[in-house]
Structure 1
């Protein structure tokens, strides 16, 4: 029996907890099979509808799958508790509109309870001073929306959309409507906010603000660097790919986790669709680097400095740098001004561990760099991402299977928003907003579009607080609970004269009293579409779904 193993709070050796069947001795481990059974029981009265949802597009995260079939591992099933947990929400029934006739009782409700009222049944309107919402016919609602838009056409309007359960066609129509009908580029989405730092950094370094690799790289890489991301909680399907690689490729990819917190799910994970892993679990992280909060640039610069100053770069690395990159000499010069003592102090990582990571990366053939909002949600977010990309470029880890850079998105259709131009500074396809491109899109669409970049979400809210945005059109989303400074956001929404919301369910944002009036319109989710539509996953794979 192994000795000297760490002991947890219950007095059990770590090895026993890890290898006990199904991880049952881990108190916080997901109970996959129990929760699958619970999903069946919870949806017992609508199993046919639940089965239809499971065989449609996955709205659990941005990795996307085709029904129950995994797209990366052939003939593999797709089980994901995130997705199973959304079945009830997807099939939720409509509420009685009379429940919103008086909002006093709902004023202190948490957002989850408001959403559990059910789906929005009919168009609803609330005017300033009203105690609640009144039902409208669709004709009345459309007339009201058209009246408001005619009054405030131009930059007194703002458009915002969420990124969950919205397909490519809806995104495209949304931004086109804002620009052609609304005559404004004040159009944005929560997708751009989450990874705006990634888009800016990738655009500046590689020329394209999106992933260079694919999800299959998670299996094919020799080394996978996970920085500022927790796949186990946010994209559990990705751990299926790591398990597949480690099981079939002799323990590869070797996983290096760079994070400020040691995530339990990245140490060991039980993949329910793989029998061996479901029973005994799979070790995920081979090396954990605990970087200080805000110390990511210093750490990655330290790894780069080791590569350069300790002659770890091989001839093939230097050939790639010489033939495919620019500015390497300037980077080396900048690193020369940063001592290892300084980089260690700033990052919280020793020079020894920086060298260990540098050696692993220099010796491998294929490396993929993956990051999440643990890198982007900082004042230095773009610099964090640039430091990762510089490392990938110096190692020649681009443009080959198993090698690349992948900003890992969160919501189910988040990548689609950027591709379709739901941003204040780009048209569809990433075309920058300027006179030349505006003329081109005007010709294509048969109507003039504005040529000046618009406002992003934050500046839109600030403009609303100043009284400059008179009409705010939102497709889903909850600005009140997701933007910084909730009091400021509430004040801005209260000052906005008119608001139009398209949504499946109500939330706290919709209950804020309007400056003049708010109109709420119900929408279908994408399982109810009667036509073919497409979605784009985090690795830019486009998939078509039909009725």
Structure 2
């Protein structure tokens, strides 16, 4: 594969982006600043509203740009997504708007699910979420009576300690209304980085071999042992958010990091610095010197997207061909070549030669050789070839064989597991809420002009001219209380760290909330964030922590 990424899984889109844009009559965007973080798709959603008059509902604590196109903006309190969605489903059941035939034919566990939903009447949900009861009824009616309807979300749903439960609740909602497996419907998580989907598809998760084959199931273990000529453990490995505490505790001794900058992107930066400093050995494979490079014992020069040959897999499960545009500069080499050479040397140190392994493991001569192995071992990629992609075929996995046309829409007629299972999900408050010492709430994210840790975008002069410093969004009411006037510089502190930045006084954020990004090293919001994890996906609660804000005098 041509990209490298580390991901906290939220699944893949069940429906292609152009299908949603062309066929959804109603759209719920929750926990996604789509026009800034996925601007191409965000433009498609805007056009669906403007040209087809599709009804758009945005659920977000902030008044993001997309709300200008929305029929309804549900300005919920951060961390109350489950309460909101369960409350909408209460109203749908109360009014009899659920798709009874779909529920009977294609789902299970409905009675337990319904009993749980009865704990979310409108008045209680309004108190929890801060959304007026009349808006709850309006949103429920739009989404229930306008078919088909789609749901889109991003890390505003997943980056919580209840991230998995949030995703399950979105799936419940769409099954309740019969919107799964149909054009213009589905559950559609928007991936956070280029080729995150492809990295997960290829086994970049600790519990799966490529194509989501469980590592702790013996048939899968035997399959990959035979293919790779090695003995494989049956236990599930660690996520990145488990590796860092293990490093800090001395249980993890070495790290090989490819194309990632945990100093910028992981929660609680001071703890990450301690973890990396405690390691016995660290290798970093990157395209630029990063903040993490300071902790590396060995730096390996990889290549950028424009120097690669291979494929990327995007958020809608579509595999896209990538052709090398420029030659690598200096001593940089293809990422797969670097990893392969390291593997060969490790094998040699263990008195085994690469040629001893079945199927000439670690003897790839090109990305095409790697794709051939993928075809053989990853069933959902079995029919995807460079030849088909170069002919212009749009292939969304699963693609079962060379004659199969791909699967643009998942779960048509039948779910992959048979019956879709309703889950009883419960609202749980965030781990850290405002108190007397830290009376405000911080949420984090990105801005349009920069990407992730900013290793590339902060080197682009044009982007830095537009957005050259980190800004902290602050509500006008809070600004007046703090005395923000000509001096707009504020200090934001949590129990883990402190940053100072210029305040952008704006009603984009509600009173009592500030919003910051992590693109700039000196003002990185992750110095403040908490490392509390979802117990299943191990994703950090980036979106909520308690802070205090003071004027810098």
Give me the TM-score of the superposition, normalised by structure 2. 0.56
Name the residue aligned to 2:97.
312
Runs of 4+ displaced beyond 6 Å: none
Q: Do residues 492 (structure 1) and 292 (structure 2) align?
A: no
Name the residue aligned to 1:396.
178
Q: Do residues 474 (structure 1) and 275 (structure 2) align?
A: no
Going from structure 1 to structure 2, the CA distance change for 1:267 and 1:299 (only over 3 Å counts) comes to closer
Contact 1:302/1:351, CA 8 A, preserved across alignment = no
- Give matches, 1:148-547, under 5 Å: 168-169=1-2, 190-192=6-8, 196=9, 198=10, 209-216=11-18, 217-249=20-52, 251-252=53-54, 254-263=55-64, 265-268=65-68, 284-313=69-98, 317-434=99-216, 435-512=218-295, 518-529=297-308, 531=309, 533-547=310-324
Q: Distance in 2 between matches of 1:232 and 1:526?
A: 23
CA deviations over 1:517-537 (Å, ceiling 9, x no partner) = x000111223123x4x11111
Give me the TM-score of the superposition, normalised by structure 1. 0.57
Contact 2:206/2:238, CA 8 A, preserved across alignment = yes
Q: Distance in 1 between matches of 2:86 and 2:167?
A: 12
Per the TM alignment, residue 190 of structure 1 is displaced from its structure 2 partner at its CA by 2.9
Q: Distance in 2 between matches of 1:247 and 1:348?
A: 29
RMSD: 1.6
Aligned residues: 322
Q: Distance in 2 between matches of 1:246 and 1:480?
A: 40
Contact 1:536/1:543, CA 8 A, preserved across alignment = yes
Per the TM alignment, residue 247 of structure 1 is displaced from its structure 2 partner at its CA by 4.2
CA radius of gyration, larger in: 1
Contact 1:218/1:368, CA 8 A, preserved across alignment = no
Higher RCO structure (Cα 8 Å, ≥6 apart) = 1
Name the residue aligned to 2:488.
none
Contact 2:86/2:117, CA 8 A, preserved across alignment = yes
Q: Distance in 2 between matches of 1:243 and 1:291?
A: 22
CA deviations over 1:389-430 (Å, ceiling 9, x no partner) = 111000010111111110111211111111111011111001
Q: Distance in 1 between matches of 2:36 and 2:316?
A: 19
Q: Distance in 2 between matches of 1:427 and 1:372?
A: 24
Per the TM alignment, residue 170 of structure 1 is displaced from its structure 2 partner at its CA by 5.5
